Amino acid sequence: MTYPTALGASSLKTITLLGQDLAEDVMGTVGFGELAFWLATQRRPTPGETRVFEAVLAALADHGFTPTAIVTRLTYLSAPDSVQGALAAGLLGGGSRFLGVTEDCGRFLHDVLSGVDGGLPTDDEGWDELALAAVRAQREQGRFVPGLGHHVHKEGDPRTPRLFAIAAEEGLRGPHLALFAAIGRVHPRVLGKTLPLNGAGTCGAALADLGLPVELLRGFALLARAAGLLGQIAEERRRPIGMDAYLAIDRNAVYVDPSEE
Amino acid sequence: MTYPTALGASSLKTITLLGQDLAEDVMGTVGFGELAFWLATQRRPTPGETRVFEAVLAALADHGFTPTAIVTRLTYLSAPDSVQGALAAGLLGGGSRFLGVTEDCGRFLHDVLSGVDGGLPTDDEGWDELALAAVRAQREQGRFVPGLGHHVHKEGDPRTPRLFAIAAEEGLRGPHLALFAAIGRVHPRVLGKTLPLNGAGTCGAALADLGLPVELLRGFALLARAAGLLGQIAEERRRPIGMDAYLAIDRNAVYVDPSEE
Amino acid sequence: MTYPTALGASSLKTITLLGQDLAEDVMGTVGFGELAFWLATQRRPTPGETRVFEAVLAALADHGFTPTAIVTRLTYLSAPDSVQGALAAGLLGGGSRFLGVTEDCGRFLHDVLSGVDGGLPTDDEGWDELALAAVRAQREQGRFVPGLGHHVHKEGDPRTPRLFAIAAEEGLRGPHLALFAAIGRVHPRVLGKTLPLNGAGTCGAALADLGLPVELLRGFALLARAAGLLGQIAEERRRPIGMDAYLAIDRNAVYVDPSEE
Amino acid sequence: MTYPTALGASSLKTITLLGQDLAEDVMGTVGFGELAFWLATQRRPTPGETRVFEAVLAALADHGFTPTAIVTRLTYLSAPDSVQGALAAGLLGGGSRFLGVTEDCGRFLHDVLSGVDGGLPTDDEGWDELALAAVRAQREQGRFVPGLGHHVHKEGDPRTPRLFAIAAEEGLRGPHLALFAAIGRVHPRVLGKTLPLNGAGTCGAALADLGLPVELLRGFALLARAAGLLGQIAEERRRPIGMDAYLAIDRNAVYVDPSEE
C-alpha cells in the first residue's frame, strides 16, 4: 500500500512542498494567503488572485463576540493548558448557521451557473433574467436565497461594494459575482422587499470566481476565523471577559421543574 | 456588565477591526499573514516583520502525512458533512509532542534571557557563555534542550539557515535567535554529540524575536497548520488515501486476550 | 435576562439535578445509562427502558480500529497532555458516514411512520405493505434504505436479533422496530438482493421506540463511543500502536508532482 | 506490521468485545457504567465497584451553566448540523481549571501514597500524620492542595459525605479516600482556615481507590460530562437559551481603541 501526495515531503537534506523547495523557494517568498490558496488548489495563484483571496479572508476573520469567539474564550478559560482545544472549539461553531453563508452562497451560484444550457449571459439584461429565474425557483421551493440580508447592516454591508471593486480591479469579477450582483438588482421583484447583498455571500461568490472548489468554501471561512480566534485568545489573555461572561449566564439561571413542561 | 474588545465591531454602516475601517483600510490592503500578526498583537507589523512571520508560517504549514494530517483525513472520511470537524480534529493533535517544539523552544529561550542580570551579551563569546550555562542547567535537571535534533534531517534542517538569513535580511535577528545560534555552537561540549538546530525550534526563536507572546507560540503553529490541513482535505477530495489508510490498520489488527496481560 | 434550565443547579447546601437531590437521590441509586437517558429526556426511564438503552450503548461502544479509534490514538500520540483533545477528535468522526447510520435509520423510520394516515398496521401483512411502499419510494428517489447491509457481517449482524429479543423481553418492541423488521422481510422484492439489517440501524429503531428524539440519536451513538474511545486511550497507554500506525502511512507516502494531475 | 487490541473485533458471524461475545454476553447484561469501567481497565468491575463508579459519574455529569455547557449550547446554535461538534467543543473545556480537579486530586493522593516507605498507616493518627506532612510540603512549594474548597458549597459539598458513605457501604474506602479524609481533618492546622473537601476531589480519590489509572481520571470526568452535555443539547432544543446568551454578550460589547492600551 502506498499513499500519494503532492503536499509536503522530507528527505535527509530537503523539504519539498507542492513541488517546490520549501526553504529556498517558499520561505521568505510566498505570503501566507498565497500559500493557503496554493495548498488548497495545488496551483500557485497570481498576485491578483492572492489579493482577492486575502480580501475575503480579512472580511471573514473576526466580527467581535460571535458565538465562535465566545466559545473560544470560554474554552480557554476552562482549559488554559490547551490552546489547540480553545481554537478547535471555536472552529466547531463554523457550521451551517453562522459561518455557512459563504459556502451556501458560492454553491447556490455555482449550481445555477452549472444549470445554464449554452453560453452564459453577456450583458446585464441576460444576467438579470438568469437571476430572476433562480430567485423564483428558490422561492417556489420555499427556500431562502443565500447571501441576502444582514441583521446589522440593513442598508448595505460595507464589505460588499469593496469586494466587488477589488475583484474588478484585478480583472477577477467572474460569473459568480455577476450573477450575485444581478440577484441584488432583481430580487425585490420576487420577494417584494429589498435586501442587501451581505458580505459573507459576496465572499462566497468571489471565492467561487477564483476557481476554488465550492465544497471547500466553508474551509476558507474557517481559516480566516482561525486567525480571528487567535486574536480572541490573545485579547482574552490581556483583557479577559470569559469569567464575567460565564458568570453573567450562570448567575441568571432560573431553575425549572422538569415535570412542569 | 460590559465586555471590552479592540477586535471586530459592527454598526449599521461600518465594520471596525483593530480600530481600522475593515472595508476601506483592511480589505485589499492588508495581507493575511499581516492581519493574523496584527490580530494577535493589536499592533500592525512592519513589512519586514510580516516577511519573517510568513516565512515561519510557511515552514510549519505542512509536512506530509503527520499524525495531524492523517487525523484530518480520517475524520473527513468519517464525517464529510463537517469540514469544521475535520479541521478541528487535526488541530487537536497540535499538542506537546508533535507541534509543541516551536513554543517550547521560544519559551525556553525567553526564560533564559529573562534570567539574565544586567545587559545581554554583545558578542559571540558572551552568547556562547550564556548558552553553555543554559544547556548545562537543562542537562543537570535531566531535561532536553528544546529545538535540538531532528529524526529526518540529521545533518541539518534546511529551514534553519534560511530562517536565520531572512531574519538577518530584515534586521530582525534578535536575542532569541542569537542565543539559539549559540546553543547550536556550544551544545556538543555538554552533550558530547552534535545535533542540528531544527526548524520548529528556529521558528519559535524567530517568533519570540518578533515580540509575539511566548504563551501563544503554539497558536501560530496551529494557524500555519490550519492552512496545511485545508490542503490535506482538498487533496483527500481529489486523491483520497483515508480509506486505504484506515483499512491498512484495521485489516492488520490482531486480537489479544485481555486476560493474557 | 434569565436562562431557564431543569438540569443541574447548586445552592449553598444542595445540588439539584433534574429536580432530584443529587447526593441523596441520584448518587448511588441511578446507574449511568439511566442517568444519561434521564438527562436527555428529562424523564426517568423504567428499568426495561434502561436495559434496552444500555444494550444499544453496548452495541455501539467500540468496533476496534475504526477511523474514530485511530484518530483518538493518533491525537493522543501527538498531544498526550490533552486527554480531552484526543477524545473530542475521535468523536468528531461521528458524522454522516461511519456513525450516522443509527440516526439516519431512526429518522427514516420515524418519517415513514409520521406519514401514515390513520392507524399503524396491526399485523405483519400490514407492516410489510408499509415497508414495501417505503423501500420503493426510497429507491425511486435514488436513495439507499438506511440500516441495510454490512461490509463484514454479510450473512447477518449478530447484534440485530439480540436487540430485537431484548426489546421484546422488555415489552418495548414498538412501531419503529416493527417497520424495520418488515423492511428486512420485503426489501429483496424491490432491491433484487437480500441484505442483512445491520446493528447500527436496529439501534436507531430501538432508540426511536424508546421515545428518544430522532434528531439526537447520533448523540447517543457518540456517548457510547466516548466510552469506547476512553478504552482506546487506556489501551494506547498500555499497548501503543499509534506510532506504528503513523509511520506505516508516512513511510509509504509517494510523492506526486502537483503539475502532473 | 500488526496492531494488537483486546477491545472490539469483528468476524463474519461474531463481534467480540473485551474477549466476550458482544451480542450474547454484553448486550442486555452489562450496564453502561460497568462497560465503561471494563473498557478502560480491561477488567470487569464487581457490582460494588460499578456502584461507586456510577456514583462518581453522577456527581460529575452536570452542574448547570458551566463554561462547558455554555460552549456546547453556543456551538449547537452556530452549527446545528453537527451534534458531534457541539459535544466535542464542550468536552474541550475539560481541562486544567474547571474539570481538572478530579484528576489533580487523584494524582496528588497517589503521589503521596507512592512516596510512603514501608506500610501505609493503620489508624487515623497515622493518616493524620501523613496528611499533615503532605499538606505542609504542598504549602512550602507554594502549591494548592487539590480538592480543598468550593466557590458555592463553602460549608461543605453534599457530594462528599455521600461518596464516602457509598464507598464504605461497598467496602471500597481505600487509602486514597483515607488520606483525603485525613487532609480534611488536618489542613486547618497548616492553612489556618477550614475548607470543605469538594466533590470533584472526592471523586478523584474514589476513582483512584477503584484502581483506575490516575493519568486517565480526567477521562472519566469527561465521560460523565458527555452525558451532561447531551442533556444540555436536548434542553437547548426544547428550551433554547443560546441565542439570548450570545446576544447578552454581543450587545454589551464595548469597543476599545487598540492603541489606548
C174-209 tens-digit pLDDT: 999 999 999 999 999 999 999 999 999 999 999 999
Residues of chain D neighbouring A242 (CB-CB closer than 8 A): 67
Instruction: Report pLDDT for A260.
Output: 59
Question: Could you give phi then psi for residue A31, rounded to 5 degrees?
Answer: -70, 170
Instruction: Report pLDDT for D145.
Output: 94
Task: Check: CB of residue D32 under 8 Å from CB of residue C62.
Answer: no
CB contact under 8 A, C75 and B71: yes
Above 70 in pLDDT, residue B254? Answer: yes
Cα angle B114, B116, B120 (rounded to 5 degrees) comes to: 100
Give the residue among B118, B41, B70, B100 at the shortest CA–CA distance from B235.
Answer: B70
pLDDT, average across residues B79-101: 91
Residue A206, C-alpha cell as written in the block? 468571489
Q: Mind telling me how many Å the CA of A67 is from chain D's nearest CA?
A: 6
Give residue-wise pLDDT tens across range C111-169.
999 999 989 999 999 999 999 999 999 999 999 999 999 988 888 999 999 999 999 99
pLDDT, average across residues B173-185: 98
Above 70 in pLDDT, residue D261? Answer: no
Cell 473545556: give the residue.
D93
Above 70 in pLDDT, residue D104? Answer: yes
CB contact under 8 A, A252 and C42: no
Q: Is the sign of the CA dihedral B56, B57, B63, B66 positive or negative?
A: positive
Instruction: Report pLDDT for A98.
Output: 75
Of residues D66, D74, D80, nearest to A71 (C-beta): D74
Instruction: Report pLDDT for C261.
Output: 52
Above 70 in pLDDT, residue C260? Answer: no
Instruction: Report pLDDT for C154.
Output: 87
Of residues C3, C9, C249, nearest to A3 (C-beta): C249
Instruction: Report pLDDT for D152.
Output: 86
Instruction: Report pLDDT for B99.
Output: 80
Of residues A88, A100, A249, nearest to D70 (C-beta): A249
Residue B43, C-alpha cell as written in the block? 499592533
Instruction: Report pLDDT for A12.
Output: 86
- Count of positions (residues) in chain B: 261
Question: Could you give phi then psi for residue D214, rounded to 5 degrees?
Answer: -65, -25
Q: Give A117's contacts (C-beta < 8 A, 6+ positions apart).
A: none
pLDDT, average across residues A232-241: 96
Q: How far apart are CA C110 and CA C128, in angstroms?
A: 16
Cell 506504528: give the residue.
C244
Above 80 in pLDDT, residue D84? Answer: yes
pLDDT, average across residues B31-44: 97
Task: Check: CB of residue D57 under 8 Å from CB of residue A43.
Answer: no
Task: Check: CB of residue D128 under 8 Å from CB of residue D185.
Answer: yes
pLDDT, average across residues C226-249: 97
Above 60 in pLDDT, residue A214? Answer: yes
pLDDT class of A64 with cuts at 50, 70, 90: very high
Residues of chain D neighbouring A77 (CB-CB closer than 8 A): 67, 93, 97-98
Residue C177, C-alpha cell as written in the block? 422496530
Instruction: Report pLDDT for C39.
Output: 97
pLDDT, average across residues A155-164: 95
Above 60 in pLDDT, residue C229? Answer: yes
Reported ipTM: the value is 0.96
Of residues C24, C54, C85, nearest to D162 (C-beta): C24
CB contact under 8 A, D253 and B79: no
Instruction: Report pLDDT for A106.
Output: 97
Chains contacting chain A through 3 or more C-beta pairs under 8 A: B, C, D
Instruction: Report pLDDT for A258.
Output: 86
pLDDT, average across residues D202-221: 96
**Strand, helix or coil for residue D82:** coil
Max CA pair span of chain A: 70
Above 70 in pLDDT, residue A261? Answer: no
| Residue A140, number of CB atoms within 10 A of its CB | 9
Task: Check: CB of residue C34 under 8 Å from CB of residue C41.
Answer: no
CB contact under 8 A, D85 and B81: no
Amino acid at D116: V
For C250, nearest residue in chain B (alpha carbons): B65
Q: Residues of chain D with pLDDT > 70: what percent?
A: 99
**Strand, helix or coil for residue A123:** coil
Q: How far apart are CA C181 and CA C163, in angstroms?
A: 12
Q: Which of C7, C12, C98, C160 to mutate to test the interface with D (most CBs of D within 10 A)?
A: C7
Q: Mind telling me how many Å the CA of B210 is from chain A's nearest CA?
A: 15
- Read off the pTM: 0.96
CB contact under 8 A, A81 and D96: yes
For D222, nearest residue in chain C (alpha carbons): C84
Instruction: Report pLDDT for D187.
Output: 97
Summary mean pLDDT of chain C: 95
Name every residue in C having a CB less than 8 A away from some CB of B: 64-68, 70-71, 74-75, 77-82, 85-86, 88-89, 92-100, 238-239, 241-242, 245-246, 248-250, 253, 256, 261
Instruction: Report pLDDT for A96.
Output: 76
Q: How far apart are CA B203 and CA B195, in angstroms?
A: 17
Above 60 in pLDDT, residue B9? Answer: yes
- Count of positions (residues) in chain C: 261
CB contact under 8 A, C42 and A261: yes
Above 80 in pLDDT, residue D96? Answer: no
Q: How far apart are CA B127 and CA B180, in angstroms?
A: 9
Question: Could you give phi then psi for residue D15, rounded to 5 degrees?
Answer: -125, 130
CB contact under 8 A, C40 and D94: no
Q: Give A255's contacts (C-beta < 8 A, 6+ positions apart).
A: C4, C5, C6, C9, C16
SS (H, E, C) chain C: CCEEECCEEECCCCEEECCEEHHHHHCCCCCHHHHHHHHHHCCCCCHHHHHHHHHHHHHHCCCCCCHHHHHHHHHHHHCCCCHHHHHHHHHCCCCCCCCCHHHHHHHHHHHHHHCCCCCCCCCHHHHHHHHHHHHHHHHHCCCCCCCECCCCCCCCCCHHHHHHHHHHHCCCCCHHHHHHHHHHHHHHHHHCCCCCECHHHHHHHHHHHCCCCHHHHHHHHHHHHHHHHHHHHHHHHHCCCHHHHHHHHHCCEEECCHHHC
pLDDT class of D260 with cuts at 50, 70, 90: low
CA–CA distance from D87 to each of B77, D73, D220, D257 (Å)? 19, 9, 15, 36
Q: Mind telling me how many Å the CA of C12 is from chain D's nearest CA?
A: 5
Q: Which of C94-98, D27-31, D35-39, D122-126 has the lowest mean pLDDT?
A: C94-98
Above 60 in pLDDT, residue A204? Answer: yes
Above 70 in pLDDT, residue B96? Answer: yes
Output b/e per residue, B189-212; b: 16+ Cβ within 10 A: ebbeeebbbbbbbbbbbbbbbbeb
**Strand, helix or coil for residue B20:** strand
Instruction: Report pLDDT for D214.
Output: 94
Summary mean pLDDT of chain D: 95
CB contact under 8 A, A85 and C88: yes
Instruction: Report pLDDT for C103.
Output: 94
pLDDT, average across residues B91-96: 88
Above 60 in pLDDT, residue C53? Answer: yes
> For chain B, how far is it from start to end, CA to CA, in angstroms?
57
For C57, nearest residue in chain D (alpha carbons): D32
Q: Mind telling me how many Å the CA of C229 is from chain B's nearest CA?
A: 14
Element (H, E) at B3: strand B3-5
Q: Mind telling me how many Å the CA of D44 is from chain B's nearest CA?
A: 10
pLDDT, average across residues C241-259: 93
CB contact under 8 A, D43 and B258: yes
